Amino acid sequence: GAGVSQSPRYKVAKRGQDVALRCDPISGHVSLFWYQQALGQGPEFLTYFQNEAQLDKSGLPSDRFFAERPEGSVSTLKIQRTQQEDSAVYLCASSLAVEADTYEQYFGPGTRLTVT
Amino acid sequence: GNSVTQMEGPVTLSEEAFLTINCTYTATGYPSLFWYVQYPGEGLQLLLKATKADDKGSNKGFEATYRKETTSFHLEKGSVQVSDSAVYFCALSPSGGSYIPTFGRGTSLIVHP
């Protein structure tokens, strides 16, 4: 029984490098969310997909952040020209639906990004 | 905007003690409320939820009641175990067609034998 998987689990990048973080959601899940979690904080919403459509990217902190889900399954979060403030855990979650009463998200283990 | 406030941690208890982790929220309308748990090295897992006022969510001995009059969703357990040591996140999902959830900052629970 596969849950949500993310890769890599850990990534160290030098400032200015580009990184790509991958999320494999649960098969059949329509909705996919990306979050950024700083140390000692709760997850902060970044962006949301319904199938391949990116319906909301209001949480992306800058235009260096880009996310895609071209076939409605796997998603990639790309960060260009990384900065130290990008250091955080990036969480992916998928959900079967978006209606509030069935709104259960299944989270991956996260990718811990450290920018040096 | 929406917000969730949780009590600061860590909460340190002895095994079999009673647990309360406070959570209050600010939101318009009637959000759904959730508690997630994150065990060391793992992703967040849904612990329980409540979708309308006065609903009680429960799971694994944990309970929380949706109190609209006090805008609260406090997490309780009558007798904690060492295996309950984890970080607990309170969260809300807004009503009215929006889907962007808001999480609290998490409360670390440490249970000693």
pLDDT of residue A37 exceeding 90:
yes
Residues of chain B neighbouring A31 (CB-CB closer than 8 A)? 99
Q: Which residues contact A108 (CB under 8 A, 6 or more apart)?
A: A3, A4, A5, A6, A23, A24, A91, A92, A93, B43
**Range from A87-91, A98-102, B21-25, B84-88 carrying the lowest mean pLDDT:** A98-102
pLDDT of residue A24 exceeding 50:
yes
By Cβ distance, the residue of B93, B100, B106 closest to A42 is B106
pLDDT on residue A100: 47
pLDDT in tens, chain B (113 residues): 899 999 888 999 999 999 999 999 999 888 989 999 999 888 899 999 998 899 999 999 999 999 999 999 999 999 999 999 999 999 998 876 667 889 999 999 999 99
Under an 8 A CB cutoff, do A100 and B51 touch? yes
pLDDT of residue A102 exceeding 60:
no
pLDDT on residue B94: 84
Nearest CA in chain A to B97: A99
Q: How far apart are CA B69 and CA B54, in angstroms?
A: 10
Using alpha carbons, list the distances in angstroms from residue B106 to A84, B16, B86: 23, 22, 10
Tokens describing residue B55: 């609903």
- Name the percent of chain A in helix, strand, coil, to the closest 5: 5, 45, 45
Categorize the per-residue pLDDT at A97 as very low, low, confident or very high, splitting at 50, 70 and 90.
Answer: confident
By Cβ distance, the residue of A3, A42, A101 closest to B103 is A42
